């Protein structure tokens, strides 16, 4: 059944204290991201149980609700209409949350924020490239020579060839700039008047804005290399960040009358100068260094192993989108993307861990999230599995890291790689150069994570449940007291003795009411009928319970055990609780009672037995 | 109506078994007997409710007796409390 978006949004709004408590709202590919004014008004347990919410966590000062691809935007729209909040730009959300974030997160987060919205474009292009190239590789088909191939290849690689434009538009949205000005900056950086960045090795021309004042041997003041930024990401983001800041400042300070032409003109001119003379040269240099560093790390098996373990952690931080840069770099420099098998091992391990949770858990809600999430992870989109399942229980996440590490190690030893980037997991078969070895890597990483998760992860019992008595005992079914009001089932397992034989004169005399004693064989007390707990003794050893026909039953564990002052007794109910027949209401430690030299006879007395006719005990 | 003020000296307070004896004593009379501790009160004939008051050592309770035999009842209850608690 399709999700009722409006109902889902309404329930979310209800459980976060209403629209008034929302500072701002935004969404990414899978998550609804909210900044909440008063976290005390958020009912987390209820939120997790809202139909449509697959998981929830707090990160970077935001409350993030995992809803799912293709669904989150619809819920988001309904959410806005319900709460009356206007569509907050990502900038508002970030600014509101920024106060709560550590500096390094604030630094890294925008990278993920920029990349998540453009994933569809990258995934579409990546898959298409993979398919087209796989077809071209089939021997004897001659597909690579056809016009179809040339056409499809052009269509497929568009998103990559013009990546800076897509990044610039997305970045302008994230940083709060005008997206069309952002597009201008992106286009400028790959302008056809510049030499294509991939062809830098063939040489390029240089403009000298301020003449020939040498700063170093290789750098002249005001030097602009006539080289496009094809394949670059970070310089584009920085240029657009700079642009957005200038634009925002100008809007505030330029008189409204001339704002429309002064602001865009100044923004674009200043940004162009700063981008090509400062940001560009510095960061394309730095990016090359980062790339080299990561390539160095994955160039040897130990580094690859480390990378396989750390990969999911970087997904959590939203850093993994930056790896496209590294992959593109690998393809450019070596023609083989050896990063992909490492990422695949890490992702497939999260799939294995998530699947193990899905198969092992009893909780239907967990299962309903874990199974589809694991399938998504198998296709390389791991966010639902990581955020919705594995990280929540943590152990599966750790198992996934272990599986990823081993898988990455194996992949590095075998030296397999892909011919494209943007896909991992099963779609990775389209781009991998050796399907058999790739299968082995996936089987090892996924399988290992699956097995480890199965061994170390155990589903937590629901919070309210009694601490499991060990060994588990079935509730008795034999009635020990019968009267006109109903019957009392034995509250403990053991030998039933007549009231007169209870080793205490007062109880035995019947002044407290008629009943029986039970010499217990297990330290568990069960509710003797459906009723209400009317008292739990301060010293925990006695429970009063009111039942059908106002029967008032006293269950007193042991004799003189009041002196133990609660040590050894663990009632699982409180005064006023409704209980069901056979429900565990107390556990007690028989050894401790014996040690304290008290009989552990469970006294079961119908304290108002005088009120009923035909009371039969035993 | 008669009223008894009493402070419990028994180290264990009015717990299950002695409470039962108190209930038994109360049942000998026809008067309505109410036990008050702080803002909680109960009928002295109801054992579970009495236990629910959780009267401990040094707690002060007020017992109100009202009915045909309230004089005899109050005297008996007061004597009983002093003797047992």
Q: Which CATH superfamily is domain A5-100 in?
A: Glucose permease domain IIB (3.30.1360.60)
In this predicted structure, the answer to whether residue A448 has a pLDDT above a threshold of 90 is yes
Residue-wise pLDDT tens digits, A471-491: 457 778 888 888 888 888 888
Residue A20 CB contacts under 8 Å (≥ 6 apart), including other chains = A37
Chain A residues contacting B, CB < 8 Å?
504, 506-507, 511-513, 534-535, 537-539, 542, 544-546, 552, 554, 556, 562-563, 575, 605, 607-608, 610
DSSP A302-352: HHHHHHHHHHHHHHHTT-GGGHHHHHHHHHHHTS-BTHHHHHHHHHHHHHH
| CA A353 – CA A356 distance, rounded (Å) | 5
Average pLDDT, chain B: 80
- ipTM of the shown complex: 0.72
- Residue ranges in chain B modelled with pLDDT below 70: none
What is the phi-psi region of residue A155: left when phi exceeds 0, alpha when psi lies from -120 to 50, beta otherwise?
alpha
Which of A365, A340, A444 is CA-nearest to residue A402?
A444
Residue-wise pLDDT tens digits, A567-602: 888 888 887 788 888 888 888 888 888 888 888 889
Range of the domain at B74: 2-84
- Contact assessment for residue A568 and residue A612, using Cβ atoms and an 8 Å cutoff: no
Give me the pLDDT at residue A86, please: 53
Which of A599, A546, A595, A592 is CA-nearest to residue A569?
A592
Question: How far, in whole angstroms, is CA B41 from its chain's centroid?
Answer: 10
Looking at the 3D structure of chain B, how many domains does it have?
1
Q: Which residues of A250-264 are buried (b: 16+ CB within 10 A; e: fewer)?
A: beeeeeeeeeeeebb
Q: Cα-Cα-Cα-Cα dihedral of A38, A41, A46, A47, to 10°?
A: -20
Residue in B closest to A555 by C-alpha = B16
What is the nearest CA distance from A565 to chain B, expressed in angstroms? 9
| Per-residue tokens: A67 | 């809803």
Q: Please indicate whether residue B5 is annotated as part of the active site.
A: no
Topology, domain A479-617: Glucose Permease (Domain IIA) (2.70.70)
Pairing of strands A479-483, A616-617: antiparallel
> Is residue B49 within 8 angstroms of chain A, CB to CB?
yes
Residue-wise pLDDT tens digits, A249-305: 998 888 888 888 899 999 999 999 999 988 877 766 665 665 666 667 777 888 889
Sign of the C-alpha dihedral computed for residues A151, A155, A160 and A165 taken in this order: positive
What is the average per-residue pLDDT within A126-144?
A: 69
A507 contact residues in B (CB cutoff 8 A): 17
CATH code of the domain covering residue B50: 3.30.1340.10
In this predicted structure, the answer to whether residue A340 has a pLDDT above a threshold of 80 is yes
DSSP A454-496: HHH--PPPPTTSPPPPSS--PPP--EEEEETTEEEE-SSSEEE
Residue-wise pLDDT tens digits, A17-34: 877 777 777 777 677 888
pTM over 0.80: no
CA-to-CA dists, residue A104 to A60, A91, A100, A250, A319, angstroms: 11, 17, 12, 28, 12
């Amino acid at each position: 059944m399709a999700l009722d978006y409006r109902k889902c949004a309404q329930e979310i709004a209800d459980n976060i204290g209403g629209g008034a408590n929302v500072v701002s709202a935004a969404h990414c590919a899978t998550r609804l991201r909210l900044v909440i004014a008063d976290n005390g008004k958020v009912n987390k347990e209820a939120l997790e149980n809202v139909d449509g919410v697959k998981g929830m966590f707090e990160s970077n000062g935001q409350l993030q609700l995992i809803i799912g691809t293709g669904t989150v935007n619809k819920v988001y729209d309904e959410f806005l209409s319900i709460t009356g909040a206007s569509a907050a730009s990502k900038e508002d959300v970030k600014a509101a949350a920024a106060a709560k974030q550590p500096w390094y997160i604030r630094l890294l987060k925008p990278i993920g924020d920029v990349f998540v919205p453009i994933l569809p474009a990258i995934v579409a292009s990546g898959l298409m490239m993979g398919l087209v190239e796989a077809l071209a590789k089939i021997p004897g088909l001659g597909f690579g020579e056809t016009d179809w191939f040339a056409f499809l290849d052009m269509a497929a690689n568009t998103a990559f060839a013009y990546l800076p434009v897509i990044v610039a538009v997305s970045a302008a949205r994230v940083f709060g700039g005008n997206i069309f000005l952002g597009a201008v900056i992106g286009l400028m950086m790959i302008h056809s008047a510049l030499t294509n960045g991939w062809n830098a090795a063939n040489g390029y021309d240089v403009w000298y804005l301020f003449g020939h004042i040498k700063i170093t041997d290789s750098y002249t003041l005001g030097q602009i290399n006539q080289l496009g930024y094809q394949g670059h990401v970070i310089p584009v983001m920085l240029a657009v960040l700079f642009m957005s800041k200038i634009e925002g400042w100008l809007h505030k300070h330029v008189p409204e009358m001339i704002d429309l032409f002064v602001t865009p003109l100044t923004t674009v001119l200043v940004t162009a100068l700063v981008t090509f003379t400062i940001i560009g040269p510095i960061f394309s240099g730095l990016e090359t260094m980062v790339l080299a560093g990561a390539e160095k790390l994955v160039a040897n098996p130990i580094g690859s192993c480390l990378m396989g373990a750390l990969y999911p952690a970087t997904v959590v931080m939203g850093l993994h989108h930056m790896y496209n840069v590294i992959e593109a770099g690998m393809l450019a420099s070596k023609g083989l993307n050896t990063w992909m098998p490492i990422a695949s091992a890490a992702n497939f391990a999260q799939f294995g861990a998530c699947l193990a949770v899905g198969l092992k858990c009893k909780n239907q809600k967990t299962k309903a999230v874990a199974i589809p999430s694991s399938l998504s992870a198998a296709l390389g989109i791991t966010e639902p599995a990581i955020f919705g399942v594995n990280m929540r229980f943590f152990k599966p996440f750790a198992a996934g890291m272990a599986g990823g590490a081993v898988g990455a190690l194996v992949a590095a030893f075998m030296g397999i790689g892909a011919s494209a980037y943007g896909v991992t997991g099963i779609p990775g078969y389209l781009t991998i150069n050796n399907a058999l070895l790739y299968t082995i890597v996936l089987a090892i990483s996924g399988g290992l994570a699956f097995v480890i998760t199965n061994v170390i992860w155990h589903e937590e019992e629901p919070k309210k449940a009694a601490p499991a008595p060990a060994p588990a005992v079935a509730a008795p079914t034999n009635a020990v007291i019968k009267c006109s009001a109903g019957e009392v089932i034995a509250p403990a397992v053991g030998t039933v003795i007549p009231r007169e034989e209870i080793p205490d004169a007062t109880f035995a005399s019947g002044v407290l009411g008629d009943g029986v004693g039970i010499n217990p064989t297990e330290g568990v007390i069960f509710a003797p009928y459906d009723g209400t707990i009317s008292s739990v003794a301060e010293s925990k050893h006695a429970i009063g319970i009111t039942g059908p026909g106002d029967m008032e039953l006293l269950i007193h564990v042991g004799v003189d055990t009041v002196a133990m002052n609660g040590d050894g007794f663990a009632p699982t109910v409180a005064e006023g609780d409704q209980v069901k027949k056979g429900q565990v209401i107390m556990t007690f430690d028989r050894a401790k009672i014996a040690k304290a030299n008290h009989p552990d006879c469970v006294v079961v007395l119908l304290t108002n037995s005088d009120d009923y006719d035909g009371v039969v005990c035993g | 109506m008669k009223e008894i003020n009493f402070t419990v000296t028994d180290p264990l307070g009015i717990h299950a078994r002695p409470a039962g004896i108190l209930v038994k004593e109360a049942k000998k009379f026809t008067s309505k007997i109410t036990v008050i501790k702080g803002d909680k009160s109960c009928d002295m004939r109801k054992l579970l409710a009495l236990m629910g008051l959780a009267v401990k050592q040094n707690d002060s309770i007020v017992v109100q007796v009202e009915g045909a035999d309230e004089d005899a009842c109050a005297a008996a209850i007061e004597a009983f409390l002093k003797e047992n608690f």
